[in-house]
Amino acid sequence: MKEQKHSESLFPPRKSPQIWLTGAGGMLGRQLAEELDHRGVPFIGTDMEVDITDEKIVMNFMARHRFNWIINCAAYTAVDKAEDEPDAAMAVNGAAPEILGSAAALRGARVFHISTDYVFNGKSDTPYTEVDIPDAVSVYGRTKLSGESALLKACETAVVVRISWLYGVYGKNFVETMLNLMSEKEEIAVVADQLGAPTYAGLLARNIAAFVGGEALPAGIYHYQDKGRISWYGFAREIQRMGIAYGILTKKCRIMPVTAEEFKTAAKRPAFSVFNTGKIQRELNFSVKGWKENLKQYFEERKDLKK
Ligand SMILES: NC(=O)c1ccc[n+]([C@@H]2O[C@H](COP(=O)([O-])OP(=O)(O)OC[C@H]3O[C@@H](n4cnc5c(N)ncnc54)[C@H](OP(=O)(O)O)[C@@H]3O)[C@@H](O)[C@H]2O)c1
């Protein structure tokens, strides 16, 4: 675990912690750790030092603490590599959520779990709701889908939130990849026939922290992403526009639209990843903002981090 203020391995927590945050060194995990810290919510953040694929380790860890929530941000997220490493992906994405769910159920705790739009095949042309039938088209998607159902079976009070195209200031992500490529190259190719919406980790973290700190009754599956729909190509164009406005890019690079067929990747991705987010707004009181507004917020947050 890297730099975690309340991490067990670095500092003993101030009060008896109520939240176990797994994957606390990852992109979403770090953002959430920062948000919980900011709100003064006691938590213990862990990464590989508490291997969530090991049932004995998880059970022992749970027995030593009194958590009321496990927020699971740990995952195997290398989507293309997963095609060659299905067992490794299944252990973290498919089996570990069940282990966490069983441990939570045994100890009277709940699980807040993050899943993905990749559980769908992307053949729809209307925003996916929580009652739509998943049909994953990649190993990563299948392992995440299997983790969702195993968790919900093991722990009926669990909350599963599917998100899409996650980006945040603490990880490798599409926005940073684009900014790097745009500053190095004269021309780049970006997929224009996959539609979806990004998920800004900053706002997602605020929503999760507010939810687990509140009354928090509902359970089940929810869809969350920023408002509006866009292709990767459209997203890249806006990243370039803001990159120039924020003085990060000093020149314009040509952005060429290509099809997913032309831009070969090991794993297949859904062509349509737009969610209906009505349920999470109504039942969990999550705030949803437009993707452009969130992207601007990201650039602001990035600017503050670099100071
Ligand atoms: N990134 C996206 O575009 C995207 C899109 C949709 C949904 N999601 C979902 O969003 C969630 C957060 O994603 P993210 O991008 O923040 O992930 P991330 O940056 O890859 O972080 C995942 C974390 O999990 C840790 N981890 C892996 N295996 C573990 C194990 N066996 N035990 C304990 N910790 C382990 C990793 O530690 P190490 O670094 O030490 O391996 C890493 O810190 C995941 O559930 C992901 O599936 C992501």
Half-sphere exposure (CA, 13 Å, Cβ side) for 90? 9
Record the tokens describing residue 152, joined without a space.
């919900």
Residue-wise pLDDT for 147-173, tens only, equals: 999 999 999 999 999 999 999 999 899
Half-sphere exposure (CA, 13 Å, Cβ side) for 12? 3
Domains of the chain: 19-171+198-228+274-288 (3.40.50.720)
In whole angstroms, give the CA distance from residue 183 to residue 286: 35
Ligand 1 atom 21, closest CA: 26
In whole angstroms, give the CA distance from residue 205 to residue 20: 15
Q: Which of 2, 4, 28, 170 to mutate to test the pocket of ligand 1 (most atoms within 8 A of CB)?
A: 28
Ligand 1 atom 24, closest CA: 74
Angle between helix axes 96-107 and 55-64 (nearest 10 degrees) is 30
**For residue 132, which amino acid is it?**
D
Catalytic residue among 118, 128, 140, 167: 140
How many CB atoms neighbour CB 217 within 10 A?
8
Q: Rounded mean pLDDT of 97-125?
A: 97
Q: Could you tell me the CA-to-CA distances from 21 to 24, 60, 168, 210 in Å, in that order?
A: 6, 16, 17, 15
Please tell me the pTM assigned to this model.
0.94
Ligand 1 atom 40, closest CA: 48
In whole angstroms, give the CA distance from residue 110 to residue 220: 11
In whole angstroms, give the CA distance from residue 76 to residue 207: 23
Pocket (CB within 6 angstroms of ligand 1): 22-23, 25-29, 47-48, 51-53, 73-75, 77, 92, 114, 116, 144, 163-166, 171
Residue-wise pLDDT for 203-229, tens only, equals: 999 999 999 987 768 899 999 999 999
Ligand 1 atom 30, closest CA: 51
Residue 20, SS3? strand
Q: Determine whether 140 is an active site residue.
A: yes
Query: How many percent of the chain have pLDDT more than 90?
Result: 89
